[in-house]
Structure 1
Amino acid sequence: MSTLTESREVASGYRAGRTLPLRVELVRQLKRRRTMVMFGILAALPVVLLVAFQVGGEPGQGNNRVNLMDAATASGANFAAVNLFVSAGFLLVIPVALFFGDTVASEASWSSLRYLLAAPVPRARLLWSKLVVGVTLSLAAMVLLPVVALIVGTAAYGWGPLQLPVGGTLSTGTAAQRLLIVVAYIFVSQLVTAALAFWLSTKTDAPLGAVGGAVGLTIIGSVLDEVTALGDWRDFVPAHWQYAWTDAVQPQLQWDEMIQGVSVSVTYALVLFALAFRGFARKDVVS
């Protein structure tokens, strides 16, 4: 009995919860080139759109349609909203898929995953650290784009109320609150892509496969949402609700569709994250 008890003892001072600290993992990921490049692209998008508007003229000229893009140059708040509109469908999917899909698979591709686990870092602790850092970086990416767009738009078009495409305006204070709701909703709606990429990252040693797989399946979801023959089945496709946040840039804030979108996204995400933890706990790590 004493022999069995002694075999279960661990090194003095060892605490599983202190292994792979979040600060260490965050610094590691921030120093990676792909992180800096991704943040650079997001920060550059508002400048690119500003140049496009300066060269091509104000949006909405020459057509009879009225949409959010038509009011892009009305104020800094409008410019920020338009940046979110043009990037929510695809561009913002990429950093989320990258930060979640590259995290575990990259360790395996570098043959460092087994050494982390032998440190020893418990498997659940390793995944939890990488999950929290992935959430942090993805949220930073979501916030970076509208903040830079607001600064660039205010410098170019001035600080003013949010001009609504359906008519009317929202005061600057209300507009700021609505933009926060928009960013929060877009972030939650991207949790499906995040969870899918994270799950794939635990299944493969190829980071590109995990990232590309998540982006590809997200695109397939968007395609399925365009198939009107599916009828009400489209309500179960996360992409069906990706633009529900436009209800936040209306005179009266509407929550119904955003609540449905959040419900669908969170449900899929929880299932996929659970599969990632369950599968990785049983995985034979050889790389």
Structure 2
Amino acid sequence: MSKLAERAAPAGSQEVAEGYRAGRTLPVRVELVRQLKRRRTLLVGGVLFALPFVLLVAFRIGGDPEGAGNQVSLMDSATASAANFAAVNLFASAGFLLVVPVALFFGDTVASEASWSSLRYLLAAPVPRARLLWSKLVVALALSLAAIVLLPLVALAVGTVAYGWGPLELPTGGSLSGGVAAERLAITVAYVLVSQLVTAALAFYLSTRTDAPLGAVGGAVGLTIIGNVLDEVTALGDWRDFLPAHWQYAWLDAVRPELDWTRLIQGTSLSVTYALVLFALAFRGFARKDVVS
């Protein structure tokens, strides 16, 4: 086995150079710059930036949305104000569109290094395995947060120009003032991020197990879709409460006259629990993995 491969092998006791500090290897800012320069990051940002404009054009062409019969949904009030327009953008994208960038940022991060045959060189630098994963995990989380925040911010700007700033008109009747609406939208964005943690953890775990980035990203997206399908099977009854997909729209409780934290807390607890388990498995498995790529 070459010296390079020996360094990339599972950690053992090794002599290190004087002045070496494990905590200084692969700084988060360096990894962040690397990921920001990648085309997939720019592409994701472009798609999320463009979505509010696409919806704006759709409403301009199709006219104001109307409810079916006597039923009124959040979508029906999309053009009432900038806050409504931002809420509709989140509603339209939370189920699937936002799943893709989260899976991409977490699933591509380690597997791409393996596919480029650069992973063993990072470990031979030497970058400790736990340090490498932590840096990539923090950057993936930061990029996911930026993606999820970018969409409502652009939607608010576009909605303000197109429909003006005003209260959040609720589909159940009544409205929330601008300040309260901003707070509720912030809660919504935070919950959407938390609800995506299971997909993120799945993608990150798969990224440490495979050398194929597409396999990690596709696997996480596929399992998320399966979860959404299972949640539609009413025959499962209370078993659906253990599916993260069952709580993905719990943030709708934040756009009601009285904020109800019950479903938000339940969904957060489930997502965080699953995510912590999967992240722990990723670190444990990668620490013992024989890295040859």
Equivalent-residue separation in structure 2 for 1:188 and 1:61 (angstroms): 30
User: Partners of 1:255 and 1:93 in 2: how far apart?
Assistant: 23
Partner in structure 1 of residue 5 of structure 2: none
1:106 aligns with 2:112: yes
- In the alignment, which of 238, 245, 253 is matched to residue 247 of structure 1? 253
Are 2:33 and 1:27 equivalent residues in the alignment?
yes
Find 2:103's aligned residue among 90, 94, 97: 97
Query: Which one of 148, 157, 168 corresponds to residue 174 of structure 2?
Result: 168
User: What CA distance in whole angstroms lies between the structure 2 residues aligned with 1:252 and 1:62?
Assistant: 25
Q: Please say if 1:138 is aligned against 2:177.
A: no
* Structure 2 Cα separation of the partners of residues 62 and 225 of structure 1: 24
Name which of 120, 123, 128 aligns with 1:117: 123
CA distance in 2, matches of 1:61, 1:50: 18
Question: In structure 2, how many angstroms separate the alpha carbons of the residues matched to 1:8 and 1:221?
Answer: 44
**Whole-angstrom distance in 2 between the partners of 1:105 and 1:8:** 26
Deviations 1:217-261 (A, max 9, x none): 000000000000000000000000000000000000000001000
Q: 2:106 & 2:151 partners in 1: Cα distance?
A: 19
For the aligned residues, what is the CA RMSD?
1.0
SS of the residue aligned with 1:160? coil
Alpha-carbon shift at residue 62 of structure 1 (Å): 6.2
**Partners in 1 of 2:19 and 2:60 — Cα distance?**
62
23 and 50 in structure 1: CA distance in 2 versus 1, 3 angstrom threshold: same
Offset of 1:63 from its aligned partner?
A: 4.2
Whether 1:193 aligns to 2:205 is: no
Structure 1: which 5+ runs fail to align?
1-6
Q: Does 1:147 align with 2:153?
A: yes
Structure scoring higher RCO (CA < 8 A, sep ≥ 6) equals: 2
Kindly report which structure 2 residues correspond to 1:46-65, keeping only aligned pairs within 5 A, or say none: 46-60=52-66, 63-65=69-71
Please give the alpha-carbon distance, in whole angstroms, between the structure 1 residues aligned to 2:264 and 2:14. Answer: 50
- Name the SS for the 2:292 alignment partner: coil
User: Equivalent residue for 1:38?
Assistant: 44
Offset at residue 60 of structure 1 (A): 1.3
CA displacement, residues 51-104 of structure 1 (integer Å, 9 cap, x when unaligned)? 000001111166432000010000000000000000000000000000000000
1:70 is matched with: 76
User: What runs of 5+ residues in structure 2 fail to find an aligned partner?
Assistant: 1-12
SS in 1 for 2:228: helix
1:140-190 residue CA offsets vs partner (Å, 9 max, x unmatched)? 001000000000001000010000001101000000000000000000000
Distance 1:100 1:263 in 2: 21
CA distance in 1, matches of 2:106, 2:124: 23
8 Å CA contact retained: 2:67, 2:73: no
SS at match of 1:102: helix
| Corresponding position: 1:268 with 2:284 | no
Instruction: Please give the alpha-carbon distance, in whole angstroms, between the structure 2 residues aligned to 1:154 and 1:249.
Output: 19
1:4 — aligned with what? none
How far off is 1:10 after superposition? 1.7
Q: What's the TM-score, normalizing by structure 1?
A: 0.97
- Are residues 1:235 and 2:241 paired? yes
* Distance in 1 between residues matched to 2:68 and 2:234, nearest whole Å: 30
The answer for the alignment partner of 2:225 in structure 1 is: 219
Alignment size in residue pairs: 281
Identity across the alignment (%): 81
1: CA distance, partners of 2:77 / 2:14: 67
Say which of 177, 194, 210 aligns to 2:183: 177
Q: State the Cα distance separating 1:9 from its structure 2 match.
A: 3.9
Normalising to structure 2: TM-score of the pair?
A: 0.95
Q: Tell me by how many angstroms 1:278 deviates.
A: 0.2
Quote the Cα distance in structure 2 between the aligned partners of 1:58 and 1:91: 23
SS in 1 for 2:19: coil
Amino acid at match of 1:254: D
